[in-house]
Amino acid sequence: MTRIIALAMPQKIALTIGVAWALALLSPAQADPKNVNLQRSSKPVKVAPLSERFANADSDAVPDFQKHVIPLLGRLGCNGRACHGSFQGRGDFQLSLFGYDFSGDHKAMLDEATGRVDVDDVDESLILAKPSDADLHEGGKRFDKGTWQHHVLRRWVQSGAKLNRTKPLKLDRLEIIPNELLFKSADDLVQLKAVAHWQDGTYEDVTDLCRFSSNDESIAVVDEDGRVKSGVQGDTHLVVFYDNAVVPIPVLRPIGPELQATIATKPIDQLIEQKLNKLGIQTSDICTDAEFIRRVSLDVTGILPTGDRVREFLADKSPDKRQVLTAELLQAPGYAAWWATRFSDWTGNSEEQLNNALPFRGAGTRIWHEWLRVRLQDNVPYDDIIEGIVAANNREEGESYLDYCKQMTEACTPGNEEVFARREGMPLFWARRNFAKPEERAIGFAYTFLGVRIECAQCHKHPFDQWSKDDFDQFAKLFAPMRYNQNAVAADAKGDRAKLLKDITDGKKLNNGELRRKLYDAARKGKLVPFGELLVNTGASDRIRKQRAAAKKKGRKIPALKIPQGTILGGEPLELSEDPRPALMQWLRDEDNPYFAKAIVNRVWSNYFGIGIVDPTDDMNLANPPSNAPLLDHLANEFIANNFDLKWLHQEIISSDAYQRSADTNETNQMDRINFSHHIPRRLPAEVVHDSVILATGSDQKSDKLREIVDTMAIADGKAKQRNSQDYALGVFGQSIRESNCDCDRSDSPSLLQTIYLRNDRDIHQRIADKDGWVAQACKALGVPGPQGKTDPRELAKKRSAEAMRKQIVNRIMQFNRTPADRQKRNRPSIKKQYTKASARFKNFGYAMPSFTDLLNDPKAWLDEDLAAAVPEQGQSETKTLQNLVDDVYLRTLSRFPEQDEIKVAVGFIEDSKNTASGIESLVWALVNTKEFIITH
């Protein structure tokens, strides 16, 4: 009903109909457009915006400081970043940014030193004089004298400039009318109306006090009075701000006529198509089998499918083969390894941040990843995985400190990571160096488990959400009792830790750096070393307890111990007399939690579509609403109903038509980027690019081994040296640096360096020309000389020796050719014998000599050629044609058969190359450098 309102009508008509619709919902007594305040009570209360109520100076109404004065100052920009809301204020006058601190702002305004409010001489108040005088006010004129804004502020000062209440009144909700805009053409106009519903039962038109913004001004522009003008076709959101309310309003301008419902059977597709139908967007066709196997293999496991698996899948005529393939991939070792890496990104698995947590260098990231990998492979419910992180303890039930240290010493030894994976909890999440302060833990916790960026509220009211500084402070208090470092242990472990340290240090007292080196050295030698523990100091701190004990001993009066209290974000207060983490975990898994399930659903969705339903995926603020809220709600609710089953979530998304759509677009959806009407090609993640190059260029034997044992691949969180020193390729392609828990630590953006790496980097050329790589395997199958191999120091030494020998041989042959014919005849057997011996030596070096006849006829020609690889032994090759080879290389790189013209070009190029190996190398290089290789399709 709300979408019918005057969308293509002139502004005045649109405004009239919009107000009439709103008033029609009210009782006859309430429906007077001149009324000032709407109330739910049966007694009629006048309802009208401030602009009407204070149109004249003689109004006897009194503005409310929270409801009217502060929002008006916000609307005028007085408490913005560029004015008095900045941290240093302006003109010796400071307000809270965005007006969240009512008592503080009231005190600042009544401070006699500022002169902002003078109740004795109202018109001398600077709050009236400065904003109405452009010369006097550095911020320029904000309103004219005699306007309703001037009357509101003057009447408030005149009435005593009261705060009205000691505690802020709660705003229940801000209603926006209409709550969705569906435009039909450019330059349509609609007037928004905002009604504030308060906790005390009153409700009031506050349109004049709201701030308005557009998330895409090319689609819809909104002015300061709430008038919306349509622009280009597409969809976006308008955002309305008032008090602590932030309300997004969907705006759609269809690309074509509204479409009829389709025969979509899956809820995901139905919900997507409901919005697409409103926009007049037609979906793309389903992708080909070749596109699907490559796409789903890379998305689920991060691993290129083998050429043989692609052949098998393309030949399979079973109607359910895509579901079968998906189930197969979700059981493959690559699934758990790759998704443990993604979870490591989100949870902040960083060796740099863990360097003070364990006495083993490099162990933290390995055991963290393995703990996650095992649970993902076993499909442990998501909420149980997170509980094992959030509520984790170091020692398991009944475990002594020494037994704990023995287990951890074993687990941190390379190759024993599964020992740690068997443990119930993974407390290293709390051990990060950048989690030292409660505020840092609160921010990281919100990023990781809620998909919310709350750090703005650390200093002031969040500009795009409901959180105030007080909300942040109360939430951060929950994390104050936690402490984790290498030296922290529970009281019952201090004696055992001291004994272990004494054995390692020989009783010497060492500073922190020396002690750490001693511990690292002892751990490397296999000695039992002490480990730190996560401590949760509830109630009073150790220092306060000692002070109270000393006071008691001296007979002094001990004051009652005050139990600190924090507040779950948007929830209930929680006393910190006990570990707050179980309560936090209970709040996370509650089905009414507005963030927990949605955050992981959104991140998983983003992995498959390249963009989240909320984007960025860790910025689920009110001003950044979902592109399809019903879709996100459905997936989150079903995820909870299916007991947080991650594999169910993967299967549900992959089996949808939305995921399986082609990247080919039509006229209606070619510009769509947020509504999932077609596949949007995107660059592969850094680890996937790194491994794909290795798999595409490596021999079948090597590639099969990597796929079987994935823990040496980059998708398995990378080798230790790759993760810590940033392997060049992983760094170039944007591997997550894990400096924080922000999803922005990973980059999927293209860059010139990425192109240069794939085209010119020595690593790429060495992999392609590797003597044990796929090109060598292909040459062997064709029965032709293979590539020369990597140019490592040993190969260079062999090549230098071969070059020196070649010069000697050529000089000897040229000398032989200059001798008279009779002497040549006599010496020919000797020269032939020398040739045979030299040829054998060249073969040992890995190179081949020309035939004896060719060498005699033109010895100098050999000097002008590159050294050729030795011809493989006869009988060792399989029968292959160049066309077979071209099929193979396309299947192993692009996961499809080549087109006929591609075969013709590739075969012709190889045949025209100086040798077959060189031609095949160039073909592999060309395919690795295609967009089709580096981008999903």
Give pLDDT tens digits for 376-405: 999 999 999 999 999 999 999 999 999 999
Give percent above pLDDT 70 in the chain.
87
Residues forming beta bridges with residue 683, ordered by sequence position? 935
Instruction: For tokens 């941040």, name the residue.
Output: 353
CA–CA separation, 93 vs 41, rounded Å? 41
Residue 134 banded pLDDT, cuts 50, 70, 90: low
pLDDT of amino acid 253: 94
Q: Is 140 left (phi over 0), alpha (psi -120 to 50) or beta?
A: left
The answer to which of 337-346, 465-474, 655-664, 778-787 has the lowest mean pLDDT is: 465-474
Provide the CA 246 distance to its chain's centre, in angstroms.
24
Burial of 562 (0-12, 13-18, 19+ CB in 10 A): exposed
Residue 205 has pLDDT above 60, yes or no: yes
- Residue 869's pLDDT is 61
The predicted pLDDT at position 176 comes to: 94
- The pLDDT assigned to 794 comes to 64
Return the residue matching tokens 């949007």. Answer: 680
d(CA 580, CA 411): 29
- From first CA to last CA, the distance across the chain in angstroms is 40
Q: How confident is the model at residue 15 (pLDDT cuts 50, 70, 90)?
A: very low
Q: How far apart are CA 692 and CA 302, in angstroms?
A: 8
User: What are the CA-CA distances from residue 434 to residues 392, 737, 738 (Å)?
Assistant: 19, 14, 11
Closest CA relative to residue 109, chosen from 65, 164, 45: 65
**pLDDT score for 18:** 38
* DSSP 8-state assignment for residue 258: P
> What is the β-pairing status of strands 189-191 and 227-230?
antiparallel
What crossing angle do the helices spanning 321-331 and 289-301 adopt, rounded to 10°? 20
| Strands of the sheet with 202-205, listed across from one edge | 38-39, 202-205, 193-198, 171-177
Give 602-646 pLDDT, tens digit per residue. Answer: 999 999 999 999 999 988 988 899 999 999 999 999 999 999 999
At 700, the amino acid letter reads: D
| Token couple for 470 | 């007080």
Distance CA 811, CA 230 (A): 84
Q: Tell me how crowded residue 864 is: count the other CB atoms within 10 A of its CB.
A: 7
H/E run at residue 276: helix 267-279
Confidence (pLDDT) at 484: 86
CB 92 within 8 A of CB 86: no
Q: What is the pLDDT of residue 86?
A: 65
| CB of 157 closer than 8 Å to CB of 68 | no
pLDDT at 870: 60
pLDDT at 677 over 60: yes
Q: What is the pLDDT, as a whole number, of residue 24?
A: 35
- Strands 181-182 and 245-253, how do they pair? parallel
Greatest Cα-to-Cα distance within the chain, rounded to the nearest angstrom: 133
- Identify the DSSP state of 67: I
pLDDT for 30-73, tens place per residue? 333 333 333 333 443 445 788 888 888 888 888 888 888 888 88
**pLDDT average, residue stretch 902-913:** 93
Q: What is the pLDDT of residue 545?
A: 62
Q: Mean pLDDT in the chain?
A: 84
- Express each pLDDT in 343-384 by its tens digit: 999 999 988 888 878 888 888 999 999 999 999 999 999 999
Count helices and strands (H / E) in the chain: 39, 17
CB atoms within 10 A of CB 191: 21
Amino acid type, 404: Y
Q: Is 648 exposed, middle or buried (0-12, 13-18, 19+ CB in 10 A)?
A: middle
Residues 6+ apart with CB under 8 A from 644: 381, 382, 383, 384, 589, 597
Per-residue confidence band for 921, with pLDDT thresholds at 50, 70 and 90: very high
What count of Cα atoms within 13 Å lies in the side-chain half-sphere of residue 686?
Answer: 28
Rounded distance, CA 323 to CA 821, Å?
Answer: 78
Task: Among 264-273, 288-297, 656-665, 791-800, name the one with the lowest average pLDDT.
Answer: 791-800
Name the residue with higher pLDDT: 104 or 145: 145
For 639, other C-beta atoms within 10 Å of its C-beta total 23
pLDDT at residue 539, rounded to an integer: 57
**Rounded to whole angstroms, how far apart are CA atoms 254 and 874?**
68
Q: What is the pTM of this model?
A: 0.82
pLDDT confidence of residue 818 = 85
How sure is the predictor about 89, in pLDDT bands with cuts at 50, 70 and 90?
low
pLDDT confidence tier of residue 457, bands split at 50, 70 and 90: low
Cis check: omega of the bond before 630, within 30 degrees of 0: no
Q: According to the model, what pLDDT value does residue 141 have?
A: 80
Tell me which DSSP letter residue 379 carries: T
927 within 8 A of 889, measured Cβ to Cβ: yes
Q: What is the pLDDT, as a whole number, of residue 788?
A: 64
Q: What is the pLDDT of residue 633?
A: 96
Q: At residue 176, what is the residue type?
A: I
User: Residues 927, 931, 932, CA angle at the centre, nearest 5°?
Assistant: 70
For residue 124, is pLDDT > 70? yes
pLDDT of residue 30: 35
Give the C-alpha separation, 97 to 81, whole Å.
7
Give the separation between CA 305 and CA 303, rounded to whole angstroms. Answer: 6
Q: What pLDDT, on the 0 to 100 scale, is given for residue 9?
A: 34
Each residue's pLDDT tens digit, 837-885: 888 888 777 778 888 888 888 888 887 777 766 655 443 344 568 899 9
786 pLDDT above the threshold of 70: yes
What does the H/E/C string look like for 613-640? CCCCCCCCCCCCCCCCHHHHHHHHHHHH
Please tell me the least confidently modeled range out of 16-25, 87-96, 104-113, 674-683. Answer: 16-25
Q: Which helix (H) or strand (E) holds 375?
A: helix 363-377
Mean pLDDT of 102-117: 81
Q: How confident is the model at residue 26 (pLDDT cuts 50, 70, 90)?
A: very low
Percentage with pLDDT > 90 across the chain: 43
Kindly indicate the confidence band of residue 462, based on its pLDDT and cuts at 50, 70 and 90.
low
**Could you give the angle at the alpha carbon of 874 between the alpha carbons of 870 and 880, nearest 5°?**
95
* Domains delineated in the chain: 2-44+170-253 (2.60.40.1080), 65-158 (no CATH), 284-331+684-732+750-788+877-937 (no CATH), 344-435+459-588 (no CATH), 800-865 (no CATH)
